[in-house]
Amino acid sequence: MILTVFTPAYNRAHTLPRTYESLKNQTCKDFIWLVVDDGSTDNTAELVKAWQESEKDFEIQYVYKENGGMHTAHNTAYANITTELNVCTDSDDAMPPEAVKKILAKWNEVRDQGYAGIIALDARMDNGEVIGKGFPQGMDETTVSGYYAAGGSGDKKLIYRTDIINQYPEYPVFEGEKYVSLAYKYRLIDQDYKMAVLNEIVCLVEYQADGSTNTMVSQYYKNPKGFAFWRKIRMQYPDSKKRVFIDCIHYVAESRLAKNKHYLRESPEKLLTVLAVPAGIILEKYIRRKAES
C-alpha cells in the first residue's frame, strides 16, 4: 500500500459520510483511510465503526484522541501512518473518483526524483471551479511557499512522503490553545525539498461556517501563542521583505494578546518588530473589539 488518506474529524458526523462515499467511489482502491477523531462528542465513532465492519474494498483505520485542534490531529495522523505517501482530506471534503488513481500515477512518474511529495489542485464542491489560481503553464515542480510567493493563491492539496513529513518537528502544543498553522511543517520542508506539480483536481472543498477559514479573527483571539509562533517562523523563512514587516505587525499584536512581555527580545527581526509596534497595537485592539463584540 502506497497512500493513506487521513481525515481529522471533530463533531462532523453530518458531513463525514460524504467523504466516505467519495472514497468508496474511487476507481483505484489502493489506499488506507485513517480517521483521526479529535475528541468528537457526536456519533462519529459509531459511524466509523460501522463502516469498518462493512467496507470490503479498502482498509479503514480509526484513532481517537482528546480534542486539541487540527494541528494535533495531524500530529496523531503522522504518528500512525505507515504508507509511503499521505494526504489529508478534511471531514467536509470529498475526492473526485479519479483522485487516488491520478495521485498514484503521478507518484510512479516522479518517486525517484527526490521530491517531498506532490502539490495538486483543490476545487469548490458546488461548481467545480479551481480554488484560487492554478499552476502556471510549464510548472513541473515548486515549493509550497514558492508557489504563493510567485503569485499563486487558494488552497492546494499537498501529498507528502511520510518519511519526510516525520523528519521535521511536530506541531507545537500551547496550553489552552487549539490552533497552530499547518503551514509550519510545510515551510520547514520547503527549505530542503521541492514538490512535483500535478495539475489536476484531487479534492472538492466546502468551507463550513464553523471552520477555521471562516473564523480567523476569533482564532487570533483564542490562540495568540500559536499565531505568534507561526509569525516567528515566517520571519525566519520569509516570502518577501514586505511580507516580513506584515508578519512583524501580527507578531506584535498576537504576542500582546498572549501577554508575552518578552516578545521584542524573542523576535528574529528585532528592529522591524520595534518599528511594527504602533501598527501591532492597533491590530491588537481591532482583534479584541471584533472578538469580544
* All domains in the chain, ordered by first residue: 3-208 (3.90.550.10), 214-292 (no CATH)
- Whole-number pLDDT of residue 212: 52
Nearest to 34 by CA among 181, 171, 16: 16
Q: What is the pTM of this model?
A: 0.94
The single residue listed with the C-alpha cell 491520478 is 102
State the first-to-last Cα distance of the chain, in angstroms, to the nearest integer. Answer: 50
Nearest to 172 by CA among 180, 164, 162, 182: 180
Sequence-distant (≥ 6) Cβ neighbours of residue 213 within 8 angstroms: 207
pLDDT in tens, 142-182: 999 999 988 999 999 999 999 999 999 999 999 999 999 99
Q: At 260, is the secondary structure helix, strand, or coil?
A: coil
Sequence-distant (≥ 6) Cβ neighbours of residue 26 within 8 angstroms: 58, 95, 97, 98, 99, 100, 101
Sequence-distant (≥ 6) Cβ neighbours of residue 178 within 8 angstroms: 67, 68, 69, 72, 222, 223
Average pLDDT rounded to a whole number, residues 49-56: 97
Q: At 35, is the secondary structure helix, strand, or coil?
A: strand
Distance CA 140, CA 152 (A): 14
Nearest to 144 by CA among 197, 97, 116, 186: 186
- Whole-number pLDDT of residue 181: 96
- Amino acid found at 71: H
Positive or negative, the CA dihedral 245, 184, 181, 233 is negative
Q: What is the bridge-based pairing of β-strands 85-88 and 3-9?
A: parallel
pLDDT over 90 at 51, yes or no: yes
Q: What is the bridge-based pairing of β-strands 156-161 and 85-88?
A: antiparallel
pLDDT over 70 at 211, yes or no: no
pLDDT, mean over the chain: 95
- Whole-number pLDDT of residue 209: 56
pLDDT over 70 at 214, yes or no: no
Q: What are the C-alpha distances in Å from 38 to residues 8, 19, 138?
A: 7, 16, 40
Q: What are the C-alpha distances in Å from 96 to residues 62, 142, 177, 180, 205?
A: 23, 24, 34, 29, 11
pLDDT in tens, 105-116: 999 999 999 999
- Whole-number pLDDT of residue 293: 83
> What is the band of 260 on the pLDDT scale with cuts at 50, 70, 90?
very high
Distance CA 226, CA 246 (A): 17
Distance CA 181, CA 158 (A): 14
Is the separation of the CB atoms in 3 and 88 below 8 Å? Answer: no
